[in-house]
Chain A
């Protein structure tokens, strides 16, 4: 009787474990970050039946994140999805994962190339901020293609958090591209608005107050662009927004505002022509690329069958897409 019971229990345990799908840890730098929350949700939705995503919150502390990594490495997952707190501090984590032969998928914050090169199963899946800057520059140049000689474009930049890789690159690269393209850029101000709509609103109000004319506002993201548009409407530099109506950018007071992300909140201003253009950060494709790679590692398959291109053996770049009024 006892032996029978024992066998039953053993059977139940093995039955359970064989049915259990894999748990894949997703370690985010800070669960308070709304963009990260959305992105983690998308990765989770993409996981489907094959695996479940366990989300760990590093609470913006590298110490906390390191101990989470220790903990999950000991559970021998088939892969770890990680969003570094400090991107330059990735190498000890890469070394530890390499020792246990557990694939690492970095998201959102890109580790240094020489760190990724330490381990052939360390990948960065994301978008290249340079590309978004390039696209913003292209849109700017497209809009101002008919400038007369000697004419300059008085430009202000709304910048995300300083130190944030995307903010830094988007800001510096859009300037670099425009300058290198001999665009008559006249940089009048750079305001740090921390990717926030309300910060951007305040910063734009003071910016307009400081500088007599601003002919172009380049924003690191949609939220700040919308804040800027709201401020411009407030100051009468743009016509007020009326639902289902478009403004005439030639006749009405207007100046181009360019952003990144193409979030749903930006669509109404795009439709009404208040918002000149934005760049789509394709996070659903990004989540899909992550899910597919995790699946390949769970199934023990090589990356030869992977639908996305792996650049340099470590990077999966998800392209930005131009998202203008014309796109609608």
Chain B
């Protein structure tokens, strides 16, 4: 992976790094923003909920405080008025107290035995059989505190069908100068209690559930009628004053508080689904903005990295072409300062190289030409010497015809040699040249050998090196002809395959061993001048100079049979 990264192009690295930086920073900043928003909105829900809850509690506390204040006032009035047997006054006070607070429906003082001492309820409707009732008895079990019954149909006023809360407390009163314990009971209207609960702004699905100390539902603003409803179950399981839950798939922030004096817990369920929805919308928006930003930033950084790497790539392409081909137009690159300087330097360098290569080429060409001419010129003195030697010999032998033919052939031979400036002639010319030569040599060797020339007419137009076949024939005569026998044979064969033109000269004779062939090849390749073999090395050098490395001289031999020397010349560029 590391290696892979190391081998990435500059453009990709730039792109990768910038996209990575942008992605990470955007992701981090966006997520932090979202978390902060989330936290803040949650806190706002909690704050709003607790403010509303506090307000509701305040209202309920006012509600209970008011009736408790009345009860306290009545408590003293009961004691003082009964002490002085002013029962009518006390009843009047009860009546007044009842009218003062609209929440109070009736006020009664009962003896411990359950007999009404004073009551604002009309006597015919007053329930006088409450002695055994649990709520009544509980008043005396825990004295000096207010007891609140769950809402129910008024049990004291048989004429009333209203749902009420009964508040009771033990009080002392005088009954015929004897101090007795009794119960002050007040029936409280549910109207305000309910409207306070329903008036609370707790959101669409928000609601309030009142539960007593046993977990039973006392009152609920939704359809929660017993402790098996979702809200009551959650409220009973709460072990903190606030928490979050879902009630019927709606997100709720729940506050649990005791209602002063009542021993009831008021559990408010604040509907925070709108906040959740906003949070979700914000999250989606953040993600969309994030994706778009990353996309946009990626495109920008891709463009930027391309701007940087484009001239570099152009330069790279240019350099690659330069590797294959020296001859290039100067490169003009627009872009960063560094790349421009680099390309200018490269231009200067390639121009310099081009200039040097041209010079070397020209020098090499001149040198080759000189060498070529020199090599070509080497041929002539040998042959001239040998031929003149033969002519001398023939003259001594008085063989005038032969001399005549020989001189004619020689004349023809030299005319061919000097006929062209270039070192290349058509094969037909070279073959004529070889035939002239063979004619000279046959006379010289007194017809002790026969020769054949086997060449397809179509091949005669191919160019060969001037004086390249003749040294091979010369070689064959020098080494292959046994003057003591007359059945010496020299065969010239011209043929071709797809890529090469071959010219082979075969002579009969002793033949050459592979070691000898190897030695000869080594000598001609090194251009070592060996007496008698000067021609072969000369041809080899010229062949390589003219046709290049693919051209060659091949020596094959069958001991005591034949020796064949073949020139191998590429067809390419040869017509």
Contacts and interface: CB of A to CB of B under 8 A. Distances in A.
Nearest to A95: B239
Contacts of B179: 175-176, 179-180
A91 B80 contact: no
Contacts of A190: 76, 79-80
B144 A70 contact: no
Interface in A69-127: 69-70, 85-86, 88-89, 91-92, 95-96, 99, 112-113
Interface residues of B, number: 34
A162 interface: yes
A7 interface: no
A10 interface: no
B478 to A, nearest CB: 94
B260 A62 contact: yes
A89 B75 contact: no
Interface stretch (A165-173, A289-297, A316-324): A165-173
Contact of A89 (B72, B79, B260): B260
Contacts of B80: 187, 189-190
A66 interface: yes
Given A175-B79, A190-B80, A86 B261 contact: yes
Contacts of A112: 142, 145
Contacts of A95: 239
B257 A63 contact: yes
A86 B258 contact: yes
Contact of B144 (A89, A92, A113, A172): A172
Nearest to B240: A70
A67 interface: yes
B261 A88 contact: yes
Contact of A96 (B69, B240, B263): B240
Given A88-B263, A175-B172, A180-B179, A67 B241 contact: yes
Contacts of A169: 144
B54 interface: yes
Interface string B231-265: 00000000111100000000000001111111101
B213 interface: yes
B319 interface: no
B551 to A, nearest CB: 76
B57 interface: yes
Q: Which of A85, A89, A165 has the most CB of B within 10 A?
A: A89
Contacts of B83: 186-187
B72 A162 contact: yes
Contact of B213 (A69, A91, A99): A91
Interface in A118-177: 159, 162-163, 165, 168-169, 172, 175-176
Contacts of A91: 213, 263
A232 interface: no
Interface string A172-215: 10011001100000110110100000000000000000000000
A172 B256 CA distance: 35
Interface in B64-91: 68-69, 72-73, 75-76, 79-80, 83
A94 to B, nearest CB: 11
A190 B74 CA distance: 12
A182 B506 CA distance: 169
Contacts of A180: 179
Question: What is the size category of the interface that chain A forms with chain B?
Answer: 20 to 34
Nearest to A69: B241
Contact of B145 (A88, A159, A189): A88
Contact of B239 (A86, A99, A172, A179): A99
A162 B184 CA distance: 15
Given A91-B263, A169-B144, A176 B172 contact: yes
A180 B80 CA distance: 17
A179 B265 CA distance: 39
Nearest to B145: A88
B53 interface: yes
Given A96-B239, A112-B142, A172-B144, A66 B257 contact: yes
A192 B76 contact: yes
A163 B241 contact: no
A179 B69 CA distance: 26
A99 B240 CA distance: 11
A28 to B, nearest CB: 17
Contacts of A63: 50, 53-54, 57, 241, 257
Nearest to B257: A63
Nearest to A179: B179
Interface string B210-246: 0001000000000000000000000000011110000
Contacts of A69: 241
A70 B72 contact: no
Nearest to A89: B258
A63 B241 CA distance: 9
Contacts of A187: 79-80, 83
A162 B179 CA distance: 20
Contacts of B144: 165, 168-169, 172
A192 B76 CA distance: 9
A204 B80 CA distance: 17
B185 to A, nearest CB: 17
Contacts of B75: 162
Contacts of B73: 162
Interface in B273-301: none
Contact of A163 (B68, B76, B263): B68
Given A70-B241, A112-B142, A175-B179, A62 B79 contact: no
A92 B256 contact: yes
A241 B232 CA distance: 64
Contacts of A85: 260
Q: Which of B50, B73, B146, B241 has the most CB of A within 10 A?
A: B241
Nearest to B172: A172
A67 B57 CA distance: 14
A86 B266 CA distance: 14
Contacts of B69: 162
B76 to A, nearest CB: 5
B72 A62 contact: no
A163 B54 contact: no
A89 B262 CA distance: 8
Q: Which of A69, A86, A91, A112 has the most CB of B within 10 A?
A: A86
Interface in B486-535: none
B233 to A, nearest CB: 16
A70 B243 CA distance: 11
Contacts of B265: 92
A247 to B, nearest CB: 31
A113 B261 CA distance: 15
A280 to B, nearest CB: 23
Contacts of A186: 83
Nearest to A129: B144
Interface in A230-266: none
B270 to A, nearest CB: 14
Nearest to A115: B213
A217 to B, nearest CB: 15
Q: Give the 5 A-B CB pairs with smallest separation, nearest first.
A: A89-B258, A162-B72, A179-B179, A66-B241, A86-B260
Given A88-B145, A99-B239, 11 more contacts: A63-B57, A66-B256, A69-B241, A70-B242, A89-B263, A91-B263, A92-B265, A96-B239, A162-B73, A175-B172, A190-B79
14 contacts: A66-B257, A67-B241, A86-B260, A86-B261, A92-B256, A96-B239, A162-B72, A162-B73, A163-B68, A175-B179, A176-B179, A179-B179, A190-B80, A192-B72
Interface of B: 50, 53-54, 57, 68-69, 72-73, 75-76, 79-80, 83, 142, 144-146, 172, 178-179, 213, 239-242, 256-263, 265
